[in-house]
Amino acid sequence: MTYQEMDTQAWQVLDRAHYLHPFTDHASLRQTGSRVAVRGEGVYVWDTEGERIIDGLSGLGCVNVGYGRPELVKAAADQMSELSYCQSFFKTTHRSAVTLAEKLTSMLPDSLNHVFFQSSGSEANETAVRLLRRYWNLVGKPQKRVIIARELAYHGSTHMAASLSGITPMHFAGGDLPLPTVTHIKTPYQYRNGFGMDPEAFGILAASWLEERILEIGADNVAAFYAEPAQSAGGAICPPMSYWPEIQRIGRKYDVLLVVDEVVMGFGRTGKWFGRDFYGIVPDIMQVGKGLTSGYLPLSATIISDRVADVLIEQGGEWAHGYTYSGHPACCAVALENIRILEEEGIVENAGKVLAPYFKAKLETFADHPLIGDVRSVGLMGGLEIVKNKATREAYDYEAHIGDHCSAEALKRGLAFRANGDTMSLMPPLVITTEQLDTVFDIAREALDATAKHFGVI
């Protein structure tokens, strides 16, 4: 059978036989089969059945400028034609990586002047931890090793990134995780950790959990606090505005470095260029990925402050860390073109000023839905938390898989709508229109209603 002759079922058979999917229950996948995507344009993806799906998730929070932009294809093709690959290990560099490094630092505070490239967010977090180790060793404080991360954090799937992550199924039995120098504190998840409190007072309380843990461990043993500006995979957990200033005050007080994982928030998700712009954060190390290339090619960047980089450069000797694809020319060329599109078309500005308030207002109309206990959002990332009992905030049993049920109901109706636990998440491409957002929310409501019926709630 040729490629063109294969129908959906034929693809599903091959998929089942050979392709192990990420973060997937393969027994369940065997029963349902995969949807086979074939084409994307703007905010839509089409499958082999000719069904059109509106992508409420920007792929995985990455396709910020939407699918099918010819300029990005051209940027990759031009770079590949001219110089398809270049290593930067042996005193060699190339123009796309240098230009992108300079561009990124020009978009950030004056203290952030150095960039290291990798292919994924997970690898960026590996780099950050190796930098922390190297930094504290070089400044003569090798005992500063513990990294304080948060519950429900997501930082990636390599050993250290999964250790930093606070989504406990990732530390599955026998997986030897988390690694010994990582500890987790509670997160600014007001619905579960500070219900009914004044939000700003709750932000201060949530930050105090960092100070408490530093004091328990001893500041001399703590390398860094590690966090996403707002948490996406953990279930759209958005801190009150008082949280980050207080976290930074505590970090400075105990000389604990601040690592901010902007892999999802970077490049406009909050309606500002970076989550740090939205919350007023000045990190020592910061990671971006995903929206850096709008997902057209894999690229992440670890952006490093002078405080850390100067020590590494002046005293470090060889920095024995790097990847074959660090600063891959085509990926860097695509990132530059993607940033140009975001800037010249005012996409981030529009997301913040026009789309985000519309998105928030629409999301809030779900507060009275019989399944929804909490509604949360920042910029174009939002979550609707499903609960069994709105009065007591009791959750459904994990085995009920109610979020997955809702997600399947949405997909049947043409919307990619993700369940993060029982929080239904949306993070549409930043180029979505208000009319398209209406469609997203209409389908989301139908999916929630169908789920409520299935579970006997309405």
Rounded least distance, CB 431 to ligand PMP, Å = 20
211, 228, 337, 385: which one contacts ligand PMP (CB under 6 A)? 228
Pair 301, 289: CB distance under 8 Å: yes
Binding-site residue total for ligand PMP (CB under 6 A)?
Answer: 14
Burial of 60 (0-12, 13-18, 19+ CB in 10 A): middle
42, 229, 289, 429: which one contacts ligand PMP (CB under 6 A)? 289
Q: Which stretch binds ligand PMP (CB under 6 A): 13-21, 149-157, 180-188, 202-210?
A: 149-157
Cα separation, 431 vs 66, in Å, equals 6
Rounded least distance, CB 433 to ligand PMP, Å = 25
| 113 binding ligand PMP? (CB under 6 A) | no
Sign of dihedral through CA atoms 349, 355, 357, 363? negative
Contact string (CB under 6 A) for ligand PMP, positions 382-401, x = contact = --------------------
Taking only Cα atoms into account, the Rg of the chain, rounded to an integer number of angstroms, comes to 22
Cα separation, 447 vs 453, in Å, equals 10
227, 233, 281, 375: which one contacts ligand PMP (CB under 6 A)? 233
The two tokens of residue 447 are 């999916």
| 118 binding ligand PMP? (CB under 6 A) | no
The two tokens of residue 207 are 């930050």
Using the minimum distance from each CB to ligand PMP, give the nearer residue, 362 or 376.
376
Show contacts with ligand PMP in window 25-44 (CB under 6 A).
none
| 150 binding ligand PMP? (CB under 6 A) | no
Cα separation, 142 vs 136, in Å, equals 5
Pair 385, 302: CB distance under 8 Å: no
114, 134, 144, 155: which one contacts ligand PMP (CB under 6 A)? 155
Q: Which long-range contacts (CB under 8 A, 24 or more apart) does 349-352 make?
A: 350/430, 351/268, 351/271, 351/379, 351/380, 351/430, 352/268, 352/270, 352/271, 352/272, 352/379
Strands 381-386 and 423-426: antiparallel
Rounded least distance, CB 153 to ligand PMP, Å = 8
Using the minimum distance from each CB to ligand PMP, give the nearer residue, 288 or 363.
288
Using the minimum distance from each CB to ligand PMP, give the nearer residue, 166 or 271.
166
Q: Which residue is nearest to ligand PMP (CB)?
A: 121
| 429 binding ligand PMP? (CB under 6 A) | no
58, 64, 96, 122: which one contacts ligand PMP (CB under 6 A)? 122
| 263 binding ligand PMP? (CB under 6 A) | yes
Using the minimum distance from each CB to ligand PMP, give the nearer residue, 233 or 452.
233
From residue 87, how far is each of 92, 321, 356, 359 by CA, in Å?
Answer: 7, 13, 40, 43
| 261 binding ligand PMP? (CB under 6 A) | yes
List of residues contacting ligand PMP (CB under 6 A): 60, 120-122, 154-156, 228, 232-233, 261, 263-264, 289
